[in-house]
Amino acid sequence: MSLADLWSILPQTLLEGLLLGFVYAMIALGYTMVYGVLELINFAHSEIFMIGGVAGLEVFRYLSNGKGLEVHNPFLLLFLALVVGGGVAGLVAVLVERLAYRPLRKRGTINRLVPLITAIGVSFLLQDLVRAIEALWHNEFFLRYPTYPLLEKTFFLPLGMTIQTKAILVIVIAVLMLLGLNYLVNHTKLGRAIRAVAQDMNTAALMGINPDAIISRTFLIGGSLGGVAGVLFGLMYTVISPYSGFLPGIKAFTAAVLGGIGNIPGAVLGGLVLGQLETVGGTYLSFLTAGNFGSEYASVLAFLTLILILLFRPQGLLGQNVGEKV
Amino acid sequence: MNTNALVVVLVAAIGGAWSLLAPDNALASLLLLVATGLAVTLRGVPRAVQSLTFVALTFLFTLVLRREPALNLVFFNPAFYGLLAVLLSSLLQPIPRWIKLLLSVSILFVSVPLVGFSNPFLFELGIQVGIFAALALGLNVVVGLAGLLDLGFAAFFAIGAYTWGIFGSGDPDGKYQSQASKFIHWFPVSGLDGNLLYLFIGIAIITAAITGVLIGLPALRLRGDYLAIVTLGLGEVVRVLANNLDHPLNITNGPQGITPVHRPSVDWLNSFTNFLGVEKVYGRPLDAAMTYNLFFYLLVLVVIGIVIIVNVRLSNSRFGRAWVAIREDEVAAKTMGIPLLWTKLLAFATGAAFSGTMGAVYAAKQTFVNPESFTLVQSIFFLAMVILGGMGSIGGAVVGAAAVTLLNLDILKNLSDYLNDMRQAGVTFLGYNFANLPSQLEPAKYERLVFGLILILMMIFRPEGLIPEKRHRLELEKE
């Protein structure tokens, strides 16, 4: 591949990076919101994302299996899948908080490792739980999203870029969700309560806020966003399995840290940066190293970036430097 | 003599007599298992009676296990669990030290090999438990003592395994060339002699420790939570490297892995078993596979012994105290003049070294290395061992390793086979026909569910683990 070829595919690569970046941003918001209120890396969030994707797929399947209710309009199908995916994921997130994290909080554990290890346990448990459910139900767990000609239709853009209907939908939905979240957090009563709990749980409680209810709702919001991202991810990349939450989840967490964990605009910025880094890096790495290191090193690139960022700017791109609490 | 002691002796005697008369009867072994439990739980049993019961039970269980020639599984085998229970309870009960020593040596060095010759699976289990126990002890230094959550621990295991796998692979016929000769042109095609494994265990310690320092240098500067995610990422990086470094230079042979890996010569062990008269007892000389089973079992025992001694010495040393101080309160530890980065690095390197050692042994034992053995699931598997046993506790790490390995290697697998049999036979249970059971539902594949559940339940109900560390226990009692 010559330099001119590489130059000509750059716009398309950037566009795909943007798409991936929005998906990462939506997942990263779930991590960052939970971290904001609880200072906990919610490892299980990657599984919440996956559950959203799987639940959305079940909607597609159920409404087009030829038995009973059938929906033929792919846009309506997608809308229903997004609602169900987001809803189920949000509920699972709330359930996880109630069953696994709240007992620890009530006991008042001193050790920070305890909730973190619980989160890892929940993440593993959910993976195989979904696998077991899918195995019992359909006797398979590597699932494939259906494709519709209407959603696959390709449009030609200037600079030689092409974009499919579903990609446009992904971007539009992601932007709408992000704007909605921004409004919710900054301009509503609930948002103010969330910010208060994130700042200081005890003082917030003194001001008449019920921290447990707010934490529950934070999990609901973050989880639903993750679930919607799961449906969009499935739609874009077609394959979803109980284990396909892990890598996007880790990368979205990386994005959240990159932008400054606990910081909502930071998570979006981090997601977009990471999406570009991975697509552009994956495409150009092979060229730069004369074919010796290809796109399989894209995740290595993402992790190495995370380490570099943390070394030189531990608070992330937009984060504030907070001293350690003694 | 009090009644409790009498009950223990009576139950043991009835069980013993029964098992001697009818060795195939599982109920007899079950009764012996009950006797073990009674000897531990009943109050006021004199130590002499307890010790004698344990000695007798060891003898009986070994005898029962020896008499079952077609014993392929230890699943639901009361005699096997009995032997395990005796080993564990003799170590934990306040009986005289020399009896503890006598019992554990005779169980580990006599009973297991005796049974293992007729049932190789026991050797396999022993070797795996030993390997994982060493890894759990390594991780115990990092997570348990120093309180640094490392989610990429399998990386160091991989480093150790590849260190020996790359240089010790190949075969004399030249059918498979050694891995090292694929990227070092002057390297012998047949690879290094198997006996150099002993040297390479040392080299693996050094390479793993260096990798630990290299990974630790950037990672350990970070705040606690970030460390988990960065080590996870670096663990993935090592796996991706192992998977993809077959080009431009073929260093790891990619996803195919490296095979065959050499094992040391075991002629000395053969002549030793002949000298002991094993041949006469079994009516046939030990075949190569069996000798290797015995060899790796003994090697793992020796290594684990050394690892435990080092671990005990370290945790009671200045460094051990510094690690615990960091675990409890980093800022306070720093104020007390503990150099944080240096002390954490030392913990990382120590843990890595233990795991590198066993990596080399593992490569030789499996005669095969591939990236699939070093995934994140594997790292979580090690973490589950440490958490289950009790963070920071040495006995806990060993017990946790044994429990998790047994669960994974034996119980889940046999549960799968059992369900498969039921499905094929079309058994109906409580109105449910097992022929309808989906074929994708195999308990052996659901190890994540089990480990996840272990981690959650332990954290909620018993965060200090099965066998809590003494310091930790004191701390929890105080509150």
Do residues B78 and B202 share a domain? no
Compute the nearest-CA separation of B164 from chain A (Å). Answer: 25
Chain A (161-190) residues lying within 8 Å, Cβ to Cβ, of chain B: none
Chain A (74-103) residues lying within 8 Å, Cβ to Cβ, of chain B: 100, 103
Do residues B38 and B187 share a domain? no
- Three-state DSSP at B433 gives strand
Q: Do B143 and A116 touch (CB under 8 A)?
A: no
pLDDT single digits (tens) B118-147:
777 888 888 999 999 999 999 999 988 888
Return d(Cα A258, Cα A306) in angstroms, integer: 6
Examine residue A4 and state whether it is found in any structural domain, yes or no: no
Range of the domain at A212: 25-244
Average pLDDT value over all residues in chain A: 85
Query: Which whole number is the average pLDDT over A257-263?
Result: 83
Compute the nearest-CA separation of A292 from chain B (Å). Answer: 5
Q: Which residues of B touch A257 (CB under 8 A)?
A: 226, 229
Return d(Cα A108, Cα A63) in angstroms, integer: 46
Using alpha carbons, select from B321, B218, B382 the residue that is nearest to residue A117: B382
Q: Which residues of A touch B383 (CB under 8 A)?
A: 117, 120
Name the closest residue on chain B to residue A115, using Cα atoms: B459
Q: Which residues of A touch B149 (CB under 8 A)?
A: 113, 116-117
Contact (Cβ atoms closer than 8 angstroms) between residue B113 and residue B95: no
Residue B191's pLDDT band (cuts 50, 70, 90): confident
Residue A85's pLDDT band (cuts 50, 70, 90): very high
Q: Do A121 and B149 touch (CB under 8 A)?
A: no
Select from B118, B146, B181 the last residue of a domain: B118
- Per-residue tokens: B298: 């003994």
Statement: residue A214 has pLDDT above 50: yes
Compute the nearest-CA separation of A107 from chain B (Å). Answer: 9
SS3 sequence of chain A: CCHHHHHHHHHHHHHHHHHHHHHHHHHHHHHHHHHHHHCCCCCCHHHHHHHHHHHHHHHHHHCCCCCCCCCCCHHHHHHHHHHHHHHHHHHHHHHHHHHHHHHHHHHCCCCCHHHHHHHHHHHHHHHHHHHHHHHHHHCCCCEECCCCHHHHCEEECHHHCEEEHHHHHHHHHHHHHHHHHHHHHHHCHHHHHHHHHHHCHHHHHHCCCCHHHHHHHHHHHHHHHHHHHHHHHHHHHCEECCCCCHHHHHHHHHHHHHHCCCCHHHHHHHHHHHHHHHHHHHHHHHHHCCCCCCHHHHHHHHHHHHHHHHHHCCCCCCCCCCCCCC
Examine residue B262 and state whether it is found in any structural domain, yes or no: yes
Select from B118, B138, B165 the last residue of a domain: B118
Compute the nearest-CA separation of B446 from chain A (Å). Answer: 6
Examine residue A33 and state whether it is found in any structural domain, yes or no: yes
Select from B91, B118, B145 the last residue of a domain: B118
pLDDT single digits (tens) A297-315:
877 887 888 888 877 877 7
pLDDT, position B218: 82
Examine residue A270 and state whether it is found in any structural domain, yes or no: no
Examine residue A11 and state whether it is found in any structural domain, yes or no: no
Examine residue B405 and state whether it is found in any structural domain, yes or no: no
Examine residue A76 and state whether it is found in any structural domain, yes or no: yes
Percent of chain B residues topping a pLDDT of 90: 17
Sequence-distant (6+) residues with CB within 8 A of A93 are A30, A44, A45, A48, A219, A220, A222, A223, A224, A226
Using alpha carbons, select from A105, A58, A325 the residue that is nearest to residue A214: A105
Q: Which residues of B touch A104 (CB under 8 A)?
A: 459-460
Number of domains in chain A: 1
Residue with tokens 């001193």, as numbered in its chain: A110
Burial of B474 from C-beta contacts in 10 A (0-12 / 13-18 / 19+): exposed
Q: Which residues of B touch A111 (CB under 8 A)?
A: 147, 463
Range of the domain at B338: 120-378
pLDDT, position A232: 92
Q: Phi then psi for A154, rounded to 5 degrees?
A: -100, 135
Examine residue B472 and state whether it is found in any structural domain, yes or no: no
pLDDT single digits (tens) B214-240:
888 888 877 667 788 888 888 888 888
Do residues B240 and B309 share a domain? yes
C-alpha Rg value of chain B to the nearest Å: 24
Q: List the single residue in B147, B232, B454 with the smallest CB-CB distance to A250.
A: B232
Q: List the single residue in A104, A112, A116 with the smallest CB-CB distance to B460.
A: A104
Q: Do B224 and A112 touch (CB under 8 A)?
A: yes
Residue A223's pLDDT band (cuts 50, 70, 90): very high
Number of domains in chain B: 2
Which of A134, A303, A309 would you mutate first to test chain B, the one with the most B CBs within 10 A? A303
Statement: residue A325 has pLDDT above 50: no
Do residues B159 and B12 share a domain? no
Q: List the single residue in B445, B446, B459 with the smallest CB-CB distance to A121.
A: B459
